[in-house]
Structure 1
Amino acid sequence: MDINSINDHSPWWARAFSIFLAVMLFFTVANLFYIEIFGINGINHYSFGNEPINPGEYPENGTSEEQRKYNYSLSEWEDYQAYQEMMQELEDSSLTEITQVFAVLSILVGIPAIAMFWTQNEKMLQFGIAYGAITTIGEVWKAYISSDIIASFMESVPGGADYSWMAKISVLTSGICGIVFIALAIVLHNMYHNLNTMPESGFHLKVDNPGFSDSNHGDNDL
C-alpha cells in the first residue's frame, strides 16, 4: 500500500471544522452588533418596564400583610440595586471595548481561516492557531475582568453563593476551550499535510564497506 494513501482523509473532516468555525464567527458578529445596539446590559429581566421601586420606610404600624409585602418589595429592590451595581462595574471595566476589539480581530482572521480549512490549504495551521490564540486571549481576558464582579453579585443574592464558583472558574474554562481548539487545528493540519516517508528496512540499506588498503609495515613487510 502506498504510504501517501494513509493520509488520504476525507475533506469533510476539515470542512466540518470549517463549518464549526463559521458558526462561532457568526455568533461573534451577532454579539458585536448586540453590544453595539443594546450595550453591555443587553436585554435583561428589567428591560420590560418592570423595574422594582423603592418601597420606602418600613410600615411599623401596618398590618402583617402590609409588612410581608414590604419585606418582599425590599428584597426585590435590593436585588435590583445589586444588579445595577454589577452592570455599572462591568461598564467601568472596559469590558465592552475589549469585546469589540477582539471581535474585530477574530473576524479578520476567522474569515480566511474558514476558507483555509474548507480547501485544506497548507496555511490552515497558521490561520487556525492565530484564530485560536486571538479568541483565547480575548475570552480569558474578559473572564478575568468579569469573574470577580459577577461572583460578588451572585454572593449578594440569596442562594447565589452556592453557584459563585462557576464565575470564578470561567478563566480556566476559557483557556481550556482555546487550547482544545488549537489542538484540533494542529491535528487536522497533520491529517492532510504531514506526509511521512517510510524508512527503508535494515535489509535494504546500502552499506559501503571500505576496501582494505595496503599498509606499510616497515622492514617486516613481506
Structure 2
Amino acid sequence: MDVMKATARQLLVKLGAGNLSLEAVASEAGLTEAEVEAVFPTRDELLTALLIDAYNASGEAMEEADRAAREAGAGAGARLLAVTRALRAWSFENPGEFTLVYGSPVPGYHAPMDTVPPASRTPAVLAGIVRSALEAGELTPPKRPLTGQSLLLPEAVQLFGGVPEAPYADLIERGIVLWSSLVGLLVFQVFSRTHDSVRDESAYFDFAIAVAAEGVGLEVPFNENEL
C-alpha cells in the first residue's frame, strides 16, 4: 500500500489528480493493475486515501508547530504565525497533495465523510489559537459588528467551542475569513501568483497573515524581534 500511495503522490505532480488512474499507478510502480485493485478497487478510493493522508500530514505539521510555540512561551499571535508558516512549508514541499486538497475539484469525485475529521485538523488548530487568545484577553474588540445574526452551521460553532459573547459574537465568522485568507494566500504562492508582484514571498506571507489576523483582533508579530 505504501508503495502504491507514494507512486500516486508522484503522479499527482506529473499528471494531476484528474488524470490519476490505477493503471498509471501500476505501470509507474512496476505492479500489475490487479495488484493495485486488490488494495484500491477504484480510483476514487485511492484519491480518498491520498486526501486523508494529505489532510493528516498538513494538520500534524501545524499541530507540531503550535506545540513547539506554546512550549517556547509564545503568545497567540506568534503561535498563529508559526502554524501558518508550517502549513506553507508543507504546501511547498508537497505541491501535488496541496493541489489535491486545495486545487480544482476532480471531475466525478465526491469526497466521503471519512475525509471530514482529517480535513477539520487545520481549522481546529486556527480555532484553538483564536479561542485561547480570546480567553487570555489578547484580542482587540472589533470596531463594529458586521452581522446581526449567526451565519454559521452548528459544526463550526461546535469546533470553536460555542459562540462568544459580545463584543466578540461574530468571532467565528471572522475566524473563517482568516482561514479562507490563509488558503487563498497559499494558492497564490504555491501556484506562483505573487512572484511577479512582491520581492520576498516569505516576508509577504508573514505580512498577509498579520493583516488577516487583524480581522479577528489578533496582533501577529511581523519581525523576528517581536517573536
TM-score w.r.t. the length of structure 2 is: 0.26
Which of the pair has the greater relative contact order for Cα pairs under 8 Å at 6+ separation? 1
Rg larger in 1 or in 2? 1
Normalised by the length of structure 1, the TM-score is 0.26
